[in-house]
Amino acid sequence: MAHILLVDDDADLVARNAAALEADGHAVATASTTAEGLDAVRRGAPDVVVLEAMLDGAMAGFDLARTLARDFPTLPLIMLSRVDEHISDRELATQDRDDGWMPVQRFMEKPVAPEVLVYEVDHLLPAAH
C-alpha cells in the first residue's frame, strides 16, 4: 500500500480519484490549497503527489511542483489540469522553459479517467522500478 496525496480544490474530482486509488489499495490524503499540500508533504512524505496546476485562484500548482521537486527530489509528481482553459499557448510560450519549469513526471489534461490515474500512480511508485 502506498500513501498518495491529492492536492486539488475540486472536491468531486478529489472524491472520485481518492475512491479509485483506495480501491486499488492505496492510502489517500487530500489538500485543497498549496499551503495545505506543502504542509502535508512536510509532515510525512507521500509516495506520490497528484496536484492541480490551477490552485489558490491562480497557477500556484506550478510553484508548488517546483518547491516539492526542489525540497523532495525523489518524490514523484503528477499534475492534472485544465490550465489550457485559462492561459493561451502564447502565454505558455513566454515562460522560462528550463528543466525546473514543470518538474513533474506526468502532466495530464483533465478530465482523467480514474483508472488511468491509478495506472499512472502505480507506475510511478518506487517499487515499480
- Whether 99 and 69 have beta carbons less than 8 Å apart is answered as no
- DSSP state for residue 74 in the 8-state scheme: T
pLDDT tens-digit map of 9-59: 999 999 999 999 999 999 999 999 999 999 999 999 899 999 999 898 888
CB neighbours of 98 closer than 8 A, spacing ≥ 6? none
pTM listed for this prediction: 0.87
User: Domains, the chain, ranges and CATH?
Assistant: 3-124 (3.40.50.2300)
At 66, list the grid cell. Answer: 517546483
At 61, list the grid cell. Answer: 500548482
Cα 23 from Cα 72, distance rounded (Å) = 27
Chain-centroid distance, C-alpha 25: 19
